């Protein structure tokens, strides 16, 4: 199953980001190498948050990531939330459904 981790940036996010970016990226790449993090990046225009896509058997994989993320720990993220995402189309869909299967 896929899980979306939404980050809402704190007001001082852009000013503080350079201090924690290397740690945050190390954390993200480690999660990717473990097969947990599929894709991640900041939202732009405006830079007010980020979206991270996880794959796992429960939402705990995304929650654990957030709790241990240097951005969250150091106050760059005002709020975060995890949502289950039922992916049905595309190469990485966890439950692909083709129209001819309906």
pLDDT tens-digit series, residues 59-101: 999 999 999 999 999 999 999 999 999 999 999 999 999 998 8
Domains of the chain: 2-88 (3.30.70.1060)
Q: How far is Cα 67 from Cα 45, in angstroms, rounded to an integer?
A: 26
Task: Indicate if the pLDDT at residue 22 is higher than 90.
Answer: yes
Q: How far is Cα 80 from Cα 31, in angstroms, rounded to an integer?
A: 17
Task: Indicate if the pLDDT at residue 25 is higher than 90.
Answer: yes
pLDDT tens-digit series, residues 35-67: 999 999 999 999 999 999 999 999 999 999 999
Which pLDDT value is given to residue 100? 86
Which pLDDT value is given to residue 102? 78
């Amino acid at each position: 199953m896929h899980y979306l981790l939404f980050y809402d940036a704190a007001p001082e996010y852009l000013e503080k980001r350079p201090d924690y970016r290397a740690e945050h990226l190390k954390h993200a790449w480690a999660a990717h190498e473990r097969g947990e993090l599929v894709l991640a990046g900041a939202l732009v225009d405006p830079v007010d948050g980020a979206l991270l896509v996880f794959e796992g058997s429960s939402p705990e994989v995304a929650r654990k990531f957030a709790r241990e993320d240097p951005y969250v720990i150091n106050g760059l993220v005002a709020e975060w939330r995890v949502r289950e995402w039922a992916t049905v189309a595309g190469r990485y869909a966890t439950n692909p459904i083709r129209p001819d299967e309906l």
